[in-house]
Amino acid sequence: MGYRRTRFIASLAWFYGYSALKRGPVYVLSYMVSPLSLLFLIYVISKGALIQYAVLGGLLATIVGNSLTSIGDFAFLRLEIKLQDLVVATQVNSLDYLLGLTLGNLIFSVPGVATYVALGEVYHMFTLLNSLWTLFSILLIMISSSSLSFLIASLLKHVRYAWGLAGFLSVAFTIIPPLYYPASVLSPSLIYPLMLAPSTPAALILQSQFGLWNGSYITPLVVLVVETLVYSALAIKFSRWRES
């Protein structure tokens, strides 16, 4: 990867991630309000017994939710601002563009991630080992979810379709999978279909590493790695990069 392409990735991440934080910090509150509300409800209803699930679930939901709601942003950048048209004739390819947007999403999610890390420290949840697993899982679900968002956004013909679809997918990927509740309440026949959402294997990995689930983390780990590779490859191969 050449210097110019690396610089483009860093610049796009800065524009899409840090600049958005600096100019619109209120958007941080908008993406944190739902996970924090669920955390509060779980804490009250369970009398604190399920607070660790709520912390881990909120952490993952922040990453996945931001990645999926960015469908609207990706579509807006392509269809309205025509940013993709500006770079398509340069040395930049779809992978560079996707990496820049994904890294920008990660930067934009930092305040939310930091909030849940602080909550985890309050409840003495983190060790060195499970912290490394948490970081690893965050990176993989960010890449896989952003790849799905990029692929979907590139196929949309109008921005108006993006916002509703993004909201639906965000709820489907963060509420139905076992992010906020124990995976043990689900039978294998239910867990396996939910594995199609990257948030499910990530939640199983973390619940296993944090001692909240007795199942093995090996199968979810393999599934998450494969999904990340497959969804990234699909986004690069089948996304609409050059407009016909």
Per-residue pLDDT of the chain (244 residues; tens, 9 = 90+): 677 788 889 998 998 888 888 887 888 888 898 899 999 999 999 999 999 999 999 999 999 999 998 898 888 888 888 888 888 877 888 889 999 999 999 999 999 999 999 999 999 999 999 999 999 999 999 999 999 999 999 888 888 888 888 888 988 999 999 999 999 999 888 999 999 999 999 999 999 999 999 989 999 999 999 999 999 999 988 887 766 5
pLDDT at 198: 95
Range of the structural domain that residue 90 is part of: 3-238
Q: Residue 166 in contact with residue 183, Cβ under 8 Å?
A: no
pLDDT at 229: 96
Residue 22, domain member (yes or no): yes
Q: How far apart are CA 142 and CA 160, in angstroms?
A: 24
Q: Residue 94 in contact with residue 155, Cβ under 8 Å?
A: no
Residue 103, domain member (yes or no): yes
Residue 210, domain member (yes or no): yes
Q: Which two tokens stand for residue 97?
A: 């563009």
For the purposes of burial, counting CB atoms within 10 Å of the CB of 234, is it exposed (0-12), middle (13-18) or buried (19 or more)?
A: middle
Domain total of the chain: 1
Q: Which two tokens stand for residue 119?
A: 């909550």
Helix (H) or strand (E) holding 212: none
Q: How far apart are CA 240 and CA 120, in angstroms?
A: 40
Q: How far apart are CA 151 and CA 234, in angstroms?
A: 7
Contacts of 154 (CB under 8 A, 6+ apart): 74, 78, 235, 239, 240, 241
Q: Which two tokens stand for residue 199?
A: 């948030």
The CA angle 132-138-140, to the nearest 5 degrees, is: 105
Residue 219, domain member (yes or no): yes
Residue 228, domain member (yes or no): yes
Is the pTM higher than 0.85? yes
Residue 244, domain member (yes or no): no
Residue 243, domain member (yes or no): no
Contacts of 175 (CB under 8 A, 6+ apart): none
Residue 132, domain member (yes or no): yes
